[in-house]
Amino acid sequence: MAEVIVVGAGLAGLVAAINCARSGHRVKVLEKRERVGGDPRIRPTVDVTPMEPEKLGRFIGIDLGPPFVVPTREFLVDVYGRRFLFPGEYFRLHSVERGSRSTSLDSYLYERAREAGVEFEFGVDVASREEFSRLPANTIVATGLEAEPFLALGRPYLDVFGFVAVAPHQGEPRILGYFDRNTKYYHYCANLHGTAFALAFNTRPLPDSACQDWAGRLEEEGFRFPEWRPHKGVVATRGIIAPTLFAGNKILAGTLAGVQDPLFLFGVHGSLVSGKVAAMAIEDKERAWRLFRRFTSRYPYMWLYKRIFDLQPHFMRRPGLRAAFGALSRSPGLFRPLLGEALKSVPGFGMLG
């Protein structure tokens, strides 16, 4: 069978490579960095995402469970100074480590790929339009949060700016979300495997005071980060029709394909799902496209909701968010079915049988 080239050894690229190899293809993965795990300057990190590991694992053909996918014990939300506490299970939350350590999901998938016979070439940076044009048709491109491939392939994206921090931290897996005046999104902190990761971000550069405020809130919750680094990245939620499986004769996967929840920017679930769909597209583009459209069918509605939400001034946003989280806190059973539908904005969630 023909060789398949995969650009990018992140979650989507690794899942795509594994499934292509199992289908009988020779598979070569080209990775910009010298190992799997992403940017070592900001890794290890901890991602939290809604997930049903057994269903997702069956779909992608890879077992997902501890220590690589761990139920999140607690979700604490600070909404303009008012705190709400939820069990992570209520939102189906699971924590994963990202990076190159042996406990990361990246390393786990890398080992499964090697077992499947996938070949890797590290230190190969494919970023320009000319470089992509030299790759064969049906190359799978899964380059994550790198801006250059978005530009080269004509994909829409938004710049985000902020600060990141990583520090040792022991304890059960938790996630903290912080809504306040200094961001249109939220600030974030999560811990797993003895490491905590924190992020403050917005679509405009944040002042140092915003980072200091978030760091102070985290210290109150027992998280201390000695060093914060400025960080610039991209998200794939610029337009209402952002998700797409193809760019010219290339197949897209992961963030580059736009499989990101536009409201909270959950990306892990969509990346894993889209890696499988990209591998399917090698054999049957029409079937893969139908599945991709179904998995991302909630995107335009949630994008529009987020757009309206962003236009609201903080004096309107604050009571709305407090009312929403307050209702969930007081009557979790009543709102569980509605929440289940809302979580389908995460590409593929609740649609895997």
- What is the per-residue DSSP string for 124-168? ----SHHHHHTSPTT-EE--TT-HHHHHHTT---EEEEEEEEEEE
Domain boundaries along the sequence of the chain? 4-299
**Average pLDDT of adjacent 10-residue blocks, the chain of 353 residues:** 94 99 98 94 94 98 98 97 96 98 98 98 96 98 95 95 96 96 94 98 92 94 96 92 95 97 94 99 98 97 93 94 95 91 95 89
Local structure of residue 208 (DSSP, 8 states) = H
Task: Kindly state the DSSP code that residue 4 receives in the 8-state scheme.
Answer: E
What pLDDT shows up at residue 266? 95
Enumerate the H helices of the chain as residue ranges. Answer: 11-22, 53-60, 105-115, 129-133, 147-152, 208-220, 268-283, 285-295, 299-311, 314-330, 332-342
Can you give the pLDDT at residue 42?
A: 86
CB atoms inside a 10 Å sphere around CB 124: 14
Q: Beta 27-31 vs 74-79: how paired, if at all?
A: unpaired
Residue 353's pLDDT is what? 77
Q: Which CATH architecture describes the domain 4-299?
A: 3-Layer(bba) Sandwich (3.50)
Distances (CA, A) of 66 to 24, 70, 102: 29, 5, 13
pTM: 0.96
Q: Which two tokens stand for residue 219?
A: 């210290």
Tokens of 143: 């380059």
